[in-house]
Amino acid sequence: MDSEAIEHLYPGGEGEALCRLDQHMQRVAWVCNFKKPETEPNTLTPSTTVLSPYMKFGCLSARTFWWRLTDVYRGKQHSEPPVSLHGQLLWREFFNMAGAGIPNFHRMEGNSVCVQVDWDTNEEHLVAWREVRKPVEDSDAIMTQLRSEGWIHHLERHAMACFLTRGDLWISWEEGMKLYSVTDEERKACDVGSDLHCVAQLHSGKEEYLTAMWPAGCTVSLWEEDKKGDYSRKYIPLLRKFPVEYIYEPWKAPLSIQERAGCIVRDYPANRGARCHQQEEHPEDEGCVARARQRDTGCENRCKAESKLCGRQTKKPRRKPI
């Protein structure tokens, strides 16, 4: 990553964290009306607080954040969990609880809440994904922002993780987790201290137990938020000269347009190992069908088990007749 860019945008330390918290708490109307689904994932400036990394690295206490929000909310109408800022902190604590209480939460094997998937092993595709070797689509823009600035919106974390796992490459989320940590203990710490930051999304958006969540598949949903392609142009300079109708699928542009843009990508789809496109274009492919069935069956079983469990926990006792 570009350490200078990260230092410039998001300096570390408790003082910086508290200063940023103060600035946000002064935006009373914004805080009270905050609803996470209404934030935009690919704006050129963040549409959220960007306080999650400060909590992740211990620069900002979740308790401090919670009670500062409580002070702002007091006596006012405000949004409610799970979409409010209080709700985002509750999501963080949910992952803390899951990571602390579920054995082997940081890996697939031995993890009782994780669907067991026969992932591919493809070092070439993994390295290309991690290092943005072929930066010509929106998932590459997301990775470039992460590598150059150190932070991305949570929907972009979903999209990035989906591309790595069930969306395109069919590579284990454990490999993606290694992008953010080095040692086994650090990976465990990332999961236990998950604040809906990158590592957590490799769980919750993928073959993990939160299958009721809307899966931000590939990057189609992100296209709808950035109709002019400004986000992709910022983080993928090669695409700056492409007309807007080809900005998200430049390989579909006529060769003459690619040449004028100075970026020839006509052979790109053949090199991307696209599982989702392969399944769409070749539905008879037994490998794709079997994997989709394995994924869907595992997730369906997990949902049924959780619904049954939740039903037992929330069922009210019957009153005895008077």
Quick check: is 185 in a domain?
yes
* Secondary structure in 3-state letters for 15-56: HHHHHHHHHHHCCHHHHHHCCHHHCCCCCCCCCCCCCHHHHH
In this structure, is residue 192 part of a structural domain? yes
Does a structural domain hold residue 63?
Answer: yes
pLDDT at 86 over 70: yes
The tally of domains found in the chain comes to: 2
Q: Are residues 211 and 245 in the same domain?
A: yes
- Same-domain pairing of 59 and 146: no
Residue 20: predicted pLDDT? 97
Tell me what pLDDT residue 251 has: 84
| Same-domain check for residues 146 and 42 | no
Which pLDDT value is given to residue 178?
79
Of 57, 58, 39, 35, the C-alpha closest to 47 is: 39
Asked which of 239, 261, 276 is the last residue of a domain, the reply is 276
| pLDDT at 62 (0 to 100) | 95
Fill in the amino acid letter for 32: C
Same domain, 82 and 221: no
127 and 184 inside one domain:
yes
Token couple for 203 = 């769980």
Residue 205 pLDDT level (bands cut at 50, 70, 90): very low
The reply to whether 165 and 272 lie within a common domain is yes
26 lies in the same domain as 92: yes
- Predicted confidence at residue 77, as pLDDT, reads 98
173 is a domain residue: yes
Mean pLDDT, residues 36-45: 90
- CATH code for position 58: 1.25.40.80
Supply 231's token pair: 């986000």
The pLDDT of residue 295: 59
Q: How confident is the model at residue 68 (pLDDT cuts 50, 70, 90)?
A: very high
Residues in the annotated binding site: 48-52, 88-95
pLDDT at 241 over 50: yes
Of the ranges 15-19, 107-111, 195-199, 281-285, the best mean pLDDT one: 15-19
Q: What mean pLDDT comes out for the span 202-230?
A: 53
Annotated binding site for FAD: 48-52, 88-95
Q: What is the mean pLDDT of residues 71-95?
A: 95
Bigger pLDDT: 23 vs 233 = 23
Whether residue 247 is predicted with pLDDT greater than 80 in this model: the reply is: yes
Give a yes or no: residue 310 inside a domain.
no
Q: Give the domain CATH number at 204.
A: 1.10.579.10
55-67 mean pLDDT: 95
pLDDT surpasses 70 at 231: yes
Cα separation, 137 vs 239, in Å, equals 9
Which of the four pLDDT bands, split at 50, 70 and 90, describes residue 1? very low
Residue 107 inside a domain? The answer is no
Q: Identify the domain containing residue 48 by its residue range.
A: 3-101
Residue 114 CA to residue 102 CA, distance in Å, equals 10
For the entire predicted model, the pTM comes to 0.74
What φ, ψ does residue 120 adopt, rounded to 5°? Answer: -80, 160
Across the range 29-37, mean pLDDT stands at 97
Each residue of 176-192: pLDDT tens digit? 887 766 444 444 444 32
The pLDDT-based confidence of 31 (bands split at 50, 70, 90) is very high
Same domain, 75 and 33: yes
283 occurs within a structural domain: no
Q: How far apart are the first and last CA of the chain?
A: 69
